Amino acid sequence: MSTIRWGVVGPGEIAAGFAEAMRSVEGGEIVAVASRSIERATAFGDRFTIARRYGDYAELAADPDVDIVYVATPASRHEPDTLAFLEAGKHVLCEKPFALDAGQARRMAEQARARGLFLMEAIWSRFLPAYRMLAEAMASGRIGEPLLVEADFGMRWPVQPQHRLFNPALGGGALLDLGIYPVQLCSLVLGAPQHVVADGVIGETGVDEQIAAVLRHPGGALGVVKSAIRTVMTCTARIAGTNGSIDLPAFMHCPDALTVTTHPGGAERIDASYQGNGLQFEIAEVHRCLAEGLTESPVMPLTETIAIASTLDAIRAQVQRVPPHGSLTINDPSDERRPR
């Protein structure tokens, strides 16, 4: 593909950020936008100079001039929308959380693999300079063997029953919207957990407003994660190893620096600032993967997306008291089929 032609579905706030970022990335352009409201699609098209505006998702799916679709609809629609575009032969970048549960995530991955199409969860943190530097520091062994990840992400919003954060029908709650960031950091550093213990508070609208979980990973490593939509948290993270630590300042999901402390050696602050809103890095990764004929990103593979969804399932089950007592063990997702 000389120019990758994007369609955007769900022209809300995050989609607007995506469209802004697209302006700074070479090799792609947004050629179509779809909404359940033609008025919203038209307004978005006017704002970002997008020629084709659809008031129906199926019309965009049928557009032969769209190569890949960015799914930015509410989380409750991620599975049906993604499956529909995959069935139409489109590559898909799906906003986080990828799905409401691991079962949905598996079905989405299976459809993409069966059709040989690219599919990725848009966890933008993974592609930011700080996270790339974090991965490099871990790979080089600068802090030794990582044994503990502590991360939290929480803010206080007023209760609005129809807002996506407080509406169970839209996949609301602290865990799926914010908790996914601390969980994905544990996954990046320690792999998939073997055991999960969690508790939390369900608010008046029926969503989890505050959660805390301890994840036990292979080799005795632990992840301690917290998230909230009614409580202000530090929004920082720390990775502790046998020979040092790495600190991510607020906001831990999009930091502009990280501090690596080694013993002996002291602390080194590493600048990881960037221009723009940061979404351009995940767009560039999609372009790279498509140019190289990859159907998955090695930075955010589908196997890991499914593992993260499984961890979120395990936490949510205990916060909602299903089962009512004890901890929940989840399966190791290492047997997930990967593309050859």
Q: Looking at the chain, which residues constitute the CATH 3.40.50.720 domain(s)?
A: 4-122
| Residues contacting 266, CB < 8 A, separation 6+ | none
Supply the pLDDT for residue 320.
82
Under 8 Å between Cβ of 7 and 32: yes
Q: In the chain, which residues fall in CATH 3.30.360.10?
A: 126-279+307-335
Cα–Cα distance between 101 and 103 in angstroms, integer?
Answer: 6
C-alpha distance across the termini of the chain, in Å? 22
Q: What is the pLDDT of residue 1?
A: 61
- Tokens 């630590």, located at residue: 245
For the chain, list residues with pLDDT below 70: 1, 321-340
Which among 205, 170, 215 is positioned nearest to 313, based on CA atoms? 215
Domain 126-279+307-335, CATH class in plain words: alpha beta
User: CA 269 to CA 305: how far, in whole Å?
Assistant: 30
Sheet strands (E) in the chain = 4-9, 28-34, 52-54, 68-71, 91-95, 119-122, 146-154, 195-202, 208-216, 222-228, 237-241, 244-248, 257-262, 266-271
Q: Select which of 53, 77, 78, 96 is catalytic.
A: 96
CATH architecture of 4-122: 3-Layer(aba) Sandwich (3.40)
> Tokens representing 282?
């995940």
Beta strands 146-154 and 195-202: pairing type? unpaired
The reply to whether 90 belongs to the active site is no
| Residue 339: predicted pLDDT | 29
Question: How far is CA 298 from each of CA 108, 229, 256, 323, rounded to the nearest angstrom?
Answer: 17, 31, 23, 35
Sheet holding 119-122, edge to edge: 52-54, 28-34, 4-9, 68-71, 91-95, 119-122
Nearest to 72 by CA among 21, 153, 17: 17
- For 32-60, b/e burial (b = at least 16 CB within 10 A) is bbbbeeeebbbebbeebebebbbeebeeb
The pLDDT value recorded for residue 321 is: 60
What pLDDT is recorded for position 46? 98
Alpha helix (H) ranges present in 125-210?
Answer: 129-139, 174, 180-190
